[in-house]
Amino acid sequence: MPEAEKTTPKAEDIKPIIEVNRLSVTYFMGRTNEVKALQDVSLKIYPGEFIIFFGPSGCGKSTLLYSIAGLETHTHGDIIVDGKNVAKMKKNEVAEFRQKKTGMIFQAFYLINSLSVVKNVVLPQIAIQAERITRMAKAKKLLEHFGVSTQADKLPSELSGGQQQRVAICRALMNDPQIVLADEPVGNLDSKSSRDVMELIGELNTDQHKTIILVTHDPSHLNLAHRVFYMKDGKIVDIKVNNAITAAAEQGWGAKEAPSVSKELELLIRTYSGIAPGQLGGLLIPFKAKQVVAEVLTGMSAEELNKIEKQVQQMMLSSLEDKERLVSFLDRPASEGGIELDKRTALKLGEKIERVLEEIRVLQKEEKEQKEGKVRGVDKQASEARSYLLETFNADLHDQKQVQAMDKALVQRLTNKIDKDQLSFLLHQPLPAGPDLDRRIARKMAKHFELLMLGKFSG
Ligand code: ADP
């Protein structure tokens, strides 16, 4: 499926964690009741992806999932997980692979009813012979995290379906697997528990960066995944990309929006979507580093840069087009409160800043109009930004389809569906995914667009 692989975020830089090559699974081979459960299936899944196998009952979703888990023996082809070919492993190697690399969640939970909840959770570690105290502590921590710690000593049958599935999730995570495989995990749950459990699975991906493969026939789950593999009659017939930040991530963001976050940092998070408040401390370091680098590169002191920043801030607040004032400020002697740049540099810098500010104002105006219901804001913002970016970076598009693809990519960034890197990736993609811009230009545009987004939000 080369088409779909191309559209995976950063696929070019990252090695797949799962690679299935020409996999076929046939039951009752050669008999009259022969079933071709999978036919010549190939796919690649990248670390940290949330993938859904979707299709009608009997199309081969579970067979594919169990093959990846090393649970299927009727296979023909290669299943490479984290560099090792599961299809060619010996039995004991498969068992070890499953224990260490994968965690499984099933529709029917498969908890052992004669064991307490906490003992069910520690089971995977008994197999790898972890110390009792360590494994009990870990199990309790997981139960706590998933809101079922008070049920630790009960039997699974005493728990609701939703609680049992939370326990099963704890069990799946006990050995810290990189990959979580879930087979219709909410098929037995009521709608409220389903939503809760699906949200937890989403968080395993967004917060713990687990690679998730979920088998479902419920279309309402589709927007949770980065990519959906549509299956029919034992084949993957289509792959749709949800372009990164999923509904789950957005829900997660809503939940994480703590009031303690300062206004400025809040703006940063909104712009650099996907960064949790817990990571904000780390966020400041690159910003400080940026200051240092700016000073080295521009030859201006932090103080001078601060002064320019203040001037720009005033211009942003007053929404005045005041290039003359900016240039004269940049040119003026320090004793008169200026920066004392030479005239030409002042003019050039002034023009550049003014041009960015002007673009930000346009985007802000369109956003305002959108809020007032006057225009289709995001689309207009995108087309405006597209012309601006093409002009600024002196890039040309050759046909209308490229224009549309570029606008589509910008809309996704404007609505925080993708981040800067994914925008850069998309802008470089060939049609239909992207406008096929030169890789370096795409990267520069994405970076510059980020600046516009930041400016837009500060208005
Ligand atoms: P799905 O998960 O999409 O519902 P499955 O992967 O379970 O589909 O099944 C694919 C096909 O393989 C179906 O026709 C099913 O009846 C058949 N199948 C699955 N497992 C077995 C098995 N162990 N023995 C024989 N046939 C099987």
Q: Decide: 214 in ligand 1 pocket, CB within 6 A.
A: no
Minimum CA distance residue for ligand 1 atom 24: 27
Q: Give percent of the chain with pLDDT exceeding 90.
A: 41
Does residue 240 register a pLDDT over 80?
yes
Please provide the DSSP assignment of 326-345 as one string: HHHHHHS-GGGTS----HHH
| Cis peptide preceding 333, ω within 30 of 0 | no
- Give the model confidence (pLDDT) of 285-302 as tens digits: 554 455 455 556 666 665
Measure the CA–CA gap between 241 and 9, rounded to whole angstroms: 9
Minimum CA distance residue for ligand 1 atom 13: 58
Query: Looking at ligand 1, which atom is closest to the CA of residue 64?
Result: 6
- Give the model confidence (pLDDT) of 169-196 as tens digits: 999 999 999 999 999 999 988 888 998 8
Ligand 1: which of 25, 26, 27 to mutate, most ligand atoms within 8 Å of CB?
A: 27
Q: What DSSP state is assigned to residue 154? A: S
Ligand 1: which of 63, 213, 218, 236 to mutate, most ligand atoms within 8 Å of CB?
A: 63
For ligand 1, the distance from its centroid to the CA atom of residue 332, given in whole angstroms, is: 78
State the Cα angle at 147 between 66 and 255, rounded to 5°: 95
Per DSSP, helices labelled H in 17-106 are 61-68, 91-101
- By CB neighbour count within 10 A (0-12 exposed, 13-18 middle, 19+ buried), where does 352 fall? exposed
Q: Decide: 63 in ligand 1 pocket, CB within 6 A.
A: yes
User: Residue 364 to residues 305, 317, 350, 403, 450: CA-CA distances in angstroms?
Assistant: 25, 12, 21, 22, 14
For residue 239 the two structure tokens come to 């792959």
Burial readout 216-238 (b: 16 or more C-beta within 10 A, e: otherwise): beeeebbebbbbbbbbeebbbee
- Give the model confidence (pLDDT) of 62-111 as tens digits: 999 999 999 998 889 999 999 999 999 998 899 889 888 999 999 989 99
Q: Decide: 62 in ligand 1 pocket, CB within 6 A.
A: yes
Does residue 269 register a pLDDT over 80?
no
For ligand 1, the distance from its centroid to the CA atom of residue 216, given in whole angstroms, is: 14
Minimum CA distance residue for ligand 1 atom 21: 27
Tell me the backbone φ, ψ of residue 116, rounded to 5 degrees: -65, 165
Q: Across the beta sheet with 18-27, what order do the strands follow? A: 35-45, 18-27, 75-81, 84-85
Residue owning tokens 């942003």: 316
Judge whether 179 and 18 are in contact, CB under 8 Å: yes
- Decide: pTM greater than 0.75: no
Helix 247-256 to helix 191-206 angle (10° resolution) is 90
Q: Decide: 35 in ligand 1 pocket, CB within 6 A.
A: yes
Q: Decide: 71 in ligand 1 pocket, CB within 6 A.
A: no
Q: What DSSP state is assigned to residue 430? A: P
